[in-house]
Structure formats: structure tokens, C-alpha cells
Structure 1
Amino acid sequence: MGPLNTLVERFIPSALVFAIVLTVVVMIGALVLTDSGPVDVVKSWGDGLAGLLAFMTQMALILLLGYILANTGPVRWALLKLANVPKGRIMPYVFVALITCVAALFTWGLGLVVGAILATEVAAAARRRGEKLHFPLLVAGGYTGMAVWHMGYSGSAPLTAATPDSFLAEHIGETIPLTSTIFAAWNMITVAVALAVICAVFALLAPKKNDAVHEMPEHQMASDDVHYDVETPADKLDASRALTLIPGLLLLLYLVIHFRDGGSITLDIVNWSFLTIILLLVANPFVLIELTKRGASNVGEILLQFPLYAGIMGIMGGTGLIQVLSDSIVAVATPATFGMLAFFSAAIVNFFVPSGGGQAAVQGPVLLTAAEQLGVDPEVAIMALSYGDQLTNLIQPFWALPLLAIAKLRIRDILGYTLVVMIALGVVYTVAMLVIGPNPGG
């Protein structure tokens, strides 16, 4: 594991650099593989830059709201209570991984922050009991949710395909309901198997009784609660519980009306449901503003990268490169093997396009076009992309950065463990795509 850790730390550039390099690669590909000239390529790229502005905001909100939700008083209190539950040599590692995965299935932004908080709090609780736990393995468990998140409630590709007027829905010509993707029986079974495998892997990875462990440093046990002073009438307003409770109740009423009238789950509804819970749980505007400031630093790279992904999408559509790539998939795939090959390709692409939303924009239309040519249901393409995207998150350092910053570790400290989990889940997802077949809807 050591050589791989060193390789990643020394030679893998930032996610932004990946996006820039991928832009150049796609431009060259369009010039070589299509009849487009340099002017056509640059024009397609420039015209596409603004194509994902609404989607970019939706993705940024999911991460920001997930961070805020994980740090609201009741959720933080629940995490502290949970941290005292697991004891012994094996259970703390299994427990952190399982709770993190459940949180990530609710929303990936929440899963990232819950993983970091729970790993540090379980480590702190163990220190107070005089027990020694291997902190890097706990943090690896706290990152494992990113290997299952795309099968859950905040999955970018399924939600985008279910959202009217989204770029995927427009490409298909209709929306794909979540009952055919996230809430399909075959996906729920895959989720259950994946969680069982993750728990088994962490049980096997737990250090033996006499093994050396790297404990969490004692100074990291300090509290980071929000503190504020109430001195002026304006401060009293900012400290008022009612001023967050009122919009929270209004949003709750809106969601009830939305679903009563037959409304579906879309990216916007997912975000409004998270915001509703936050407004109902947060102590006051003071706390909400402070948590927003803290969480905003995690959103910057998304805002910078998505125009580049949109530009790539513009090149692929404007030059006809998307048809060339989909034809190449059709040439080697059959209806029975399409899901597996699409999954493998998505796992590779994710290493260069670490955002699930960005990957849905870049690769989604390609896979959907190939699926249509082969007579494969579009939900197979959507979930193959989802499974592949989430799998290689375990060795892609981009999404680990917020968690590692909280835990004060380096990517090399956890990569060996997450690699083992990735291999095990790779088997699960490969088998799932083969079993699902080309027409799971019948």
C-alpha cells in the first residue's frame, strides 16, 4: 500500500487541473475524430460554458446544506451520543463506516461531514476510556459513504434524469422516475449487499490486539462550537429562534403541498427538504450564518470546475464527438454486457471528473445514446454511471479533502484501506450490472 500512497500524494494533481487537462483532451479528440475545425471546437466550448449554471448551483447547495445539517445542534448531539456506542477491537471501525454510508445515502454532503465528525468523536471517546484505536482506519470508514452515495437520495445522475427540463431529461426526451433508478428493487438490493460487504471489510481490516496503532492526537479533541454575544437589539433578532423556525415551517408546508399534489422528487426538492430540516433544527440565525461561512469553503472548487465540465459537454454535443464515442461503445458492447462496460468506463472517467454531477454532464449523454442504439433501458445507463462514479471516489482524493482537513490527515494515511474497500465493492457492482441486464423494467 505504501508505494501507491506515495504515488498518489506526489504525482496526482488537483481536480481543477484534471478538468483543464480533460478539456484539452476532448478538444483534441473533437479535432481528430470529427470534421470540426479549431474554430468550431472553440465556439462549441465557449457556447457550452454557461450550460450548467442552474445545475452547478444545485450541486453546490447539496454540499453546503449537508455540511450545515451535520453541524446543527441536534445532529451534532446525536453524533456525540453515537460515538459512545461502539466499543471493542472491531466494532468502532464497522460502526463509523456503516453510519457514514447511511448518512451518505441520504445526502453525500451530509455523509462527508458526518464521516469526519463521527470518526474523530469515536476516536476521542475511545481515548477517554483508555482504549487505543487506529485513527486513519476510522477516517477511512468515515469516507466510505462516497462509495455508495450515488445510489441514494442525492444521487446526481438519477435526480437529474428525474428533473423536468434537465439536460439528461431533454436528451432522453422524457424524465426517468426515481422508482426506476434509486428506488428500484434491484438498486435497493445492491445497496444492502454493498453495506454488508463494507462492514465485513472493515471488520477484517481492524488491527489485531498487539498491532501498533496511530491514535488521534489529544489536541484534536477540542470543541468547535459556535459562540456569539447578544448585546444589541440587532443581536437579539439574530439570536431569535423564531426567525429560522418560521421559514422552516413554511418550507415544510410547501413540501407537503408539493407531494400532496403529485409532485416528484427532483434536485430542487432534495435541496429544499435539507433546508427545511436545517431551519427546523438550527438554534438561530447567528448559528446558521456561522455554519454557512464554514461550509462555504468546501463549495469553491465546484463553482470553478462546473463551467469547464459544461464546456466539455458543449464540445461533445456541438462537434458530434458524443455520437463518435457512443458508436465506439456500441461496437464492443452487447445489450447484456452494456451495463458492465458502462460501469467500468464510468469508474475510469470519475478519476478525471470527480464530481458526480460533472460526470453526468460529460458522460451521461454518451452512455444514454449508446444504450438507445443497443435497445438498453436508459435507467441501466444512469445507474451504471452512478455505480462507476461512486466506486473510484475511494482512490480519487478530491472529495476526501474536506474530511481530511477536519481529521488533519493526508490522503496517503487512508488510501491503502479505501483501496481494499474499492476492490471488494468493484466485485459487487460488476455482478449487479450483469444480473440487472438490459431491461430491468421488464
Structure 2
Amino acid sequence: MRLSQFFLPTLKENPAEAQIASHRLMLRAGMIRQQSAGIYTWLPLGLRVLRKVEAIVREEQNRAGVVELLMPTIQSADLWRESGRYDDYGKEMLRITDRHERELLYGPTNEEMLTDIVRTFVKSYKQLPLNLYHIQWKFRDEVRPRFGVMRGREFLMKDAYSFDLDEASARVSYNKQFLAYLRTYARLGLKAIPMKADTGPIGGDLSHEFIILAETGESQVFCDKDWLDLDVLDKAPKSAEELQSFVDWATGFYAATEEKHDPNAVPIPADRLHSARGIEVGHIFYFGEKYSKPMNATITLADGSTTPMHMGSYGVGVSRLLGAIIEASHDEAGIIWPEAVAPYHVGIITMKAGDAASDAKAQEIYAALTAKGIDVLYDDRDERAGVKFADLDLIGLPWQIIIGPRGLEKGVVEVKNRRTGQRDELSVTDALARVGA
């Protein structure tokens, strides 16, 4: 993409309303624009990252054997009355009455709707286990939306739901999701810490949050340093039989929030205890018959008797993840994207606007990268080099190729790694190899 043909409304100054790094940088980098409190338009650059994060979440759900569908954003209040949650959920639920006086709501989550779908079509124990998910917009009317996409009112969420015959098989479904979450965060360039959690209004007695460490995290987190040094996926189970022992191993590492941390009862040596701020990036639940029983979501067993299905739900705030990644990966100049989700892999800059040799070399490199299927952003604007450098550092592309008359006289271009800041003068062939072409 040529930057002269792209829509990238960057800002030089920090917006006054932005209190944390991710909100400030997403606004400055032209990724989002606030429409009203907690509600944002996703501008082209932000949408590119959002779609890449969404794709990784989707691929790992599919890999775990979860089947995708798509449910509507608007739900019937009657379903929530069946489960008993309509009045209990509180003012975060946006309640709507249509022209026919039917009571509806903008879904904050989908346990009731999917329970209704499954009870309609699943009648026999032979149809289980069943695991379904969708990636859809949600709305929760936060009393105080803040921190940009980290705590907005409208957000994109992956929510999955498992349906099983009994508790034992339901815990297998839970463990598969546990592993899928660790894989997802690893691919996003994040180190996620699994932590036992309260179930809140979702219900049930088994739940884990996944926390990433960031200086601006919402709460203080204590964890085992050994977990931070591990490549968890190296120990990932190779078979279904190994899954339970893997989850037992992973949850055996100490992790707690400040509220639950007991310094007098920590089961690890003091030199392995690590303390930092943390951000929640996912939450999974097993809640048994909480919804299936009141909503009569039953299956028929081999002997003709019926029993409620056992259920779990598994949420990832896809749009929230962008803010979390930025909180964990930025510097004073701007965002530092992990390569897997960067809006573009490489940015090309010419030092001297209008220099024919520089422009020709930039177009040659641009064409070569594009032909290899690499996402590249070519800053072909008639702007000063300093403006171009600042914008590329701000939007955080992993690699920059810098072309100038002096370098071309020596037969080289400059390659900059955004994360490390390292700059090297290389031939064009070596520069393309360095950035992965």
C-alpha cells in the first residue's frame, strides 16, 4: 500500500482524554476514532490489526475442534428470563423495546441464546460433545467507560460454548480451551499467566483468567518466575490422553492477584516470586447445569432417561487484545507490534523527496516485497524525512527500509528493526532477506 493512497490520520499531540498508553497511541496512530463514550470507529490501520488478531483467535479455535457460527447482536429478553439472569444482570445490559412492544436486549454474552439453539437440535447423548463459537460485537453499558478499547461499551469478542454429557467430559472440553488460549496468546507474542478466578455473573465453580504483564495493568499480580521463562508450547500435549496432565502442570505454577495473594502461604521459594501489574485478556468457565437445567436443555440417554447437559463458556475480548498488546509492547516513540499482528510487516521511507534514484529504488523494493506476499507500506508522501520516521515509529511496523542518495551511492539501503532499534546498511538483496522476503 502506498501511504499517499491510504487513510492514516495520525496526530502529533497526545489527546487530552487518553489516560493510558494504548488509548493514547491508538488515537495518535490513526487506528480508532471515538464516536461516543466507549464506542469507536475502527479506522483502516486499526481494522487491519483487529482482523489479524481475529484470524489467530479463529485459527486456534478451529484447531481445538470448535465449530464456528454467527449469532445476532440483539437477543430476546424471554430467553434471559428463562435462565433467571434478565433481572440479575444489572444496568450494564442495554434493554430495548421494539415497535411491537417486544422486549429485547443488546447481547453482553450468549449463554442463553446458544443454549436455546442447542436444545432445539441436540436430543441424544450420541450428539455430544458439541463445541461452538462465534466472533461478534457485544455491548455492555459500562457506568464509566475509559481507557479506550480496554474498557469500552461496544467490543468484539470471541465467545465459545461447550455442551457435554457429564462433568468429566465437560472438563475435557474446558482443558482443550485452556490449551487453545495458551496457543493463541503465544502466537500473538504475549506471555499469558493462567490464574484461578471468580465466576461472577456467568456462574459455576471452575474458572480461569489469563493475565499478561504490563506496567499499566489493572491489578497487581504475583506469579512464579519459572512460568515466565518457559516456552509453554514446547510442553503442549501431543495427544488427548496427555491433556489433563498438561493442564494440571500449567495450573500448578503459583499465580494470584493482590487481593488473593497471601505472602505467608506462598507455595514457592521467595526468589521465584515475581510481582508486576497485569491485564486480563481472557476468561473461561465451567458451570455445569446452571443454564441447561432452568432452560430444559436435556439429552436422552441410552436407557431412555433424560439429563441436563453440562456446559462451559470461553471468552476472549478480541478488540481489547489490541490495547493489551500495546500496553505490553511500546516505547516513547510509539507502538511496537509483534510481527504476527502488525498492520504491515515493512515500511519503506525515502530520505529525500523527489530524488529520482531513491524513488526508483523504493518502487523496486516495494514491488519485490509485494510479489512475495509481504504486507508493505510505502511512504511516498512529499514530506520531510523526519515526519516519515516519526510516523513509522508511531505505527510500530516491525521493519523499516530507509533509502537515501548517500546510501545508494554505496550500493546499500538501511534496515531498521523497530523492536531493538538496530540499524544496518545492507545491499538490497540482503535487505530483502533480512525482512523475510
Q: TM-score range by the shorter chain?
A: under 0.3
Greater RCO, 1 or 2 (C-alpha within 8 Å, sep 6+): 1
Tell me which protein shows more strand as a share of its residues: 2
**TM-score by structure 2 length?**
0.22
Larger radius of gyration: 2
More helix by share: 1
